A and B are shown apart, each in its own frame.
Chain A
Amino acid sequence: MNLQEYIESGIIESYVMGLATESERAEFERLCILHPELIAARKKFEEKLEGYASENAVTPPPEVKAKVLDAVRTITLEAPQNPAGDPGRPAGLPKLVAAASIVLFIAMAFLYYQTRQENRDLTGVNDRLKETLDTTRNILKTIVGEQKEVVGNPNVTVVNMVGTQAAPRSSANVYWDSARSAVYLVVKNMPELPSDQQYQLWALIDNKPTDLGVFDATGNKVILKMKNTRKAQAFAITIEKKGGSSSPTLQKMQSIGRMMHTQ
């Protein structure tokens, strides 16, 4: 068949304008699949027709639009997504589905909110636990570090401080690192003092007391770093006013310890 002759036979116009017979329509549609130029020619005529119809439009009375929109709304409410000709679904079902999805949505939203709240709470608890763990770990690390430095150090001499007659149960250990002149104090048992008083550690060098710093009986540190001294024949602890004194109040001597090996 000559395609150009077919196009010029008027088939396109009768097809578009709805004047072709059923068999002519079927043939045209079949040929359109094979010949894209047929589709192009059809579209060209359709566009012309539409353009002409638009140019010659007649404005309908406005009340028709109102009626149409009303009717369309009613249809939409009656049977949403149910075009005529389709096998009818029960009109109540979509409504039920819609209602169910709203309920489900609300339930999900609530669950989501609740879960998020719980999650936030748990995260908070978790954060606090982690902080505690970090603090504890740091304390332990410090202690282990100090222990290694003080107890495990071969240069350190341990001086056992024993209670005096004034305070027979007082006891503490002084760790003296002779290589670095560092002095550490481990309080084993010292009675708690009024808040205006503190203990003071002294080094006795050639029988003269040298201040090595003040400390409290209570404290969260196991090992107290005191002031350095390069020499000491003995150590003594006295009770002094808060902040310490320049010379020891000997009648308040709590404990004293002598070096095993004097230098």
Chain B
Amino acid sequence: MLALKERNDQAFSFFYDHYAGALYSIIKQIVPDNPELANDVLQEVFINIWRKIDSYDQSKGRLFTWMLNIARNASIDLLRSKSYQNSQKNQELPDNVYRGAANQAILQNVDSIGLKKMLEKLRPEHRVLVELAYFKGFTHEEIAEMVAIPLGTVKTRIRNALLQLREYLK
């Protein structure tokens, strides 16, 4: 950790070996259909970790948590990017993005890995919310609109789903 903050090359290499697999896994869960882009995201994530390591605050969480969120955010940013949207155009109707994503979230469970695989254990109405919030990066408000249920219910269901996931993690 100290070596990382001092930007030691060799330490960074070890560090990469230790965390790349776990971070690559989350990226693949969010960007499952484009290995090239997933590789780009992983590269960007490690460069960002290297650049921003000074801003990591130990009091707010473990280093892995910090990195996992960087990887998740970078992956979601990619999903939102114009170039990615364009490449996916043929798969979705542009005037119905929300419903399209929601439908996709329900259907998409082939070859799932990691946390996503664990989602399969949840009830479908919970699963879709976690999928939209965690793997698609929608806000609770957006999800409430997408799936046409009250915001409070969205929040409660997501919280309950996360608590259930916590139990499965044991």
Chain A: residues with CB nearer than 8 A to chain B? 8-11, 13-14, 16-19, 21, 29, 32, 42-43, 45-54, 56-61, 63-65, 67-69, 71-73, 75-76, 80-81, 83-86
Q: Total A-B pairs in contact (CB under 8 Å)? A: 140
Min CB–CB distance A16 → chain B (angstroms):
6
Q: A69-B16, A73-B9 are in contact. Are A54 and B54 (CB under 8 A)?
A: no
Give complex CA distance A42, B60 in Å.
Answer: 9
Q: Assess whether B51 is in contact with A84, with CB atoms less than 8 Å apart.
A: yes
* Chain A at the B interface: SS class: helix
Residues of A within 8 A of B21 (CB): 54, 57-60
Give complex CA distance A49, B113 in Å.
Answer: 14
Most buried by B among A16, A60, A61, A86: A60
Q: Assess whether A58 is in contact with B24, with CB atoms less than 8 Å apart.
A: yes
Most buried by B among A58, A64, A65, A76: A58
Q: When the two chains form the complex, which single residue of B9, B22, B140, B162 contacts A76, counting CB atoms closer than 8 Å?
A: B9
Give complex CA distance A11, B69 in Å.
Answer: 16
As a 0/1 sequence over residues 63 to 89 of chain B, the CB contacts with chain A under 8 angstroms (1 = contact) are 011001100110000000000000000
Residues of B within 8 A of A63 (CB): 39
Q: Assess whether B9 is in contact with A69, with CB atoms less than 8 Å apart.
A: yes
> At the interface, yes or no: B97 with Cβ under 8 Å from chain A?
no
Q: Assess whether B169 is in contact with A49, with CB atoms less than 8 Å apart.
A: yes
Q: Assess whether B64 is in contact with A50, with CB atoms less than 8 Å apart.
A: yes
Q: A10-B160, A48-B170, A53-B68 are in contact. Are A75 and B51 (CB under 8 A)?
A: yes
Chain B contact patch, size range: 35 or more
Residues of A within 8 A of B121 (CB): none
Min CB–CB distance A26 → chain B (angstroms):
11
Q: When the two chains form the complex, which single residue of A21, A46, A58, A81 contacts B28, counting CB atoms closer than 8 Å?
A: A58
> At the interface, yes or no: B119 with Cβ under 8 Å from chain A?
no
Give complex CA distance A83, B133 in Å.
Answer: 30
Q: When the two chains form the complex, which single residue of B13, B25, B162 contacts A10, counting CB atoms closer than 8 Å?
A: B162
Residues of A within 8 A of B123 (CB): none
